[in-house]
Structure formats: C-alpha cells, structure tokens
Amino acid sequence: MTALVLDCDGVLADTERYGHLPAFNATFEAHGVPVRWSEDEYADKLRIGGGKERMASLFEDAELVRSAGLPTAPDERTALLAQWHRDKTARFTQLVADGAIPARPGVRRVVHDALDAGWTVAVASTSAEASVRAVLEHAVGADAAARVPVFAGDVVPAKKPDPAIYLLTVGQLGLDPAETLVVEDSRNGLLAATRAGLRCVVTVNGYTEREAFDEAVLVVSELGDPDRPPITVLADRAGASPGPMLTLDDLRACLSGAPPPPDPSRASPDPAGGGPA
C-alpha cells in the first residue's frame, strides 16, 4: 500500500516563525531568563534537532548561566528543561488553538486526497506529541486527523537527522519502504528520511530555502492549491513534472526512481520507544 509520511513543523504549518519562536521567547520571559531569540538567531537554533535540545543550548553560555542563576548540576538542569518545555508546549498549543499558526498551502488537500485514495498517511516528528497533534488537527481537520497516526516526541532516542523516527514509523505501520514517500522541509529531515531508505519530497520555507537538498527526489516551494500562484519547482530528480500544484499523480511519480540506500550504521529503534516529550 502506498504511504505518505509528513513531518510536522514547516510541512503541516508554518510553525517555526509563528508558533515555536514566540512560544520559546514567552517561556524564557515567564521564567526570568534574559534571552529573546531573534528570527536570525532562531534560524541558527533550528540546526539543533528538538525543542528541549535547543533550550539546553542556553547552558553552553557560562555568563548567562551565572547571571541568570541557572543550575549547573545535571539533574537540576534536566528538571528545569522539562519544566520549561512543558510550559513552552502549552504556549505553543494555545497559539494553534487561537488560529495564530497558518497551515501550509496544499496540506489539507493532499492529505484528504491521499486518504480518499486509500493511502496510509502518517506524521513523523520529534516535536512534542501534544504540539504535533494540535497542528495536525488544525491543518487537516479533526475527522482527517483522527485517521492519521502520529509518531512524535521522545518515542525514539535520537532526533533528526537520525533516521530513528522514520524507521519506527515504517516498522510500526508495516510500510513498504519502496511505496513510502516522505514530505520534509529541512535538510535534517531529509537526511533522516533518506538514511531510513525512504524517498523524500521537500517543501522549503523561509528558514530552510537555502539548505542543500541534493538527496531529495523533488524540491518545491509548497504543495500548492488551486487558488494560489503556481508552485516553483526547485529540483525534479524523479521526472514528476508537476503543474501549478502537486497532485497524487506527482507524488506517485516520485516513487518511481531508485530509493536512497539506508544508512548501515543505524539500527532500528526499540519499537516500544520512550515517553512523549
């Protein structure tokens, strides 16, 4: 059975600029941490996989740790990071509920078309599960979201670009890698997918448009919708030749080429995984 697996942040919605960044900054302010990431600073932080990991990078600044009175003991830092992340996730989820985070063009259309065609559709993200489920429901509607399994949070031991989240998704759903297409928006996500032996389409955004996507079978500006300007095709290595928007036929064409070789150094994760972020 054909499967479509989508990342969350930057694929389902423009979550980084309108959701995660303001939620991080509001959390820092609420906890008395004298940090406010600009859009450029946050673009650098996006090279770090995972929200808790981005927050943990603050501890690398010895002067900030001293001036803000942040803990130095590992167990105290772990507890504080968990508290920060719970707070940040709640703020992010509220932004989604308030309609402050726009869904990306074409996501609702493509997901509905794929489900109607009998495809397996899933979401694989290493963001907090509560955040991912909120974004998914906002982007595609409650009825469609209920038909889409979500693999998110700390269910795997390593964040993207490690392939663990995709290996887990394929294994848990019994997917055929040759019939599974991933949609990502960043190089880290692309590498996670291709290292799992999966073909990947990339829809760029303002944070990722200058990254290298040499391993992608197709790179586009967005998925597109009938009421929007035609999409821009930045690279087409599958011969999909899409029109003004991506269709299921275009996505099927992306499965026709040779898949990337899986990374032999990576083992499949424990299917039991871990707890949510």
C-alpha–C-alpha distance, residues 182 and 261, integer Å = 15
217: phi > 0 → left, psi -120 to 50 → alpha, else beta; which? alpha
Catalytic residue IDs = 7, 9
Residue in the block written with tokens 């996507």:
213
Which pair of tokens denotes residue 202?
A: 């990339």
Residue in the block written with tokens 């919708």:
225
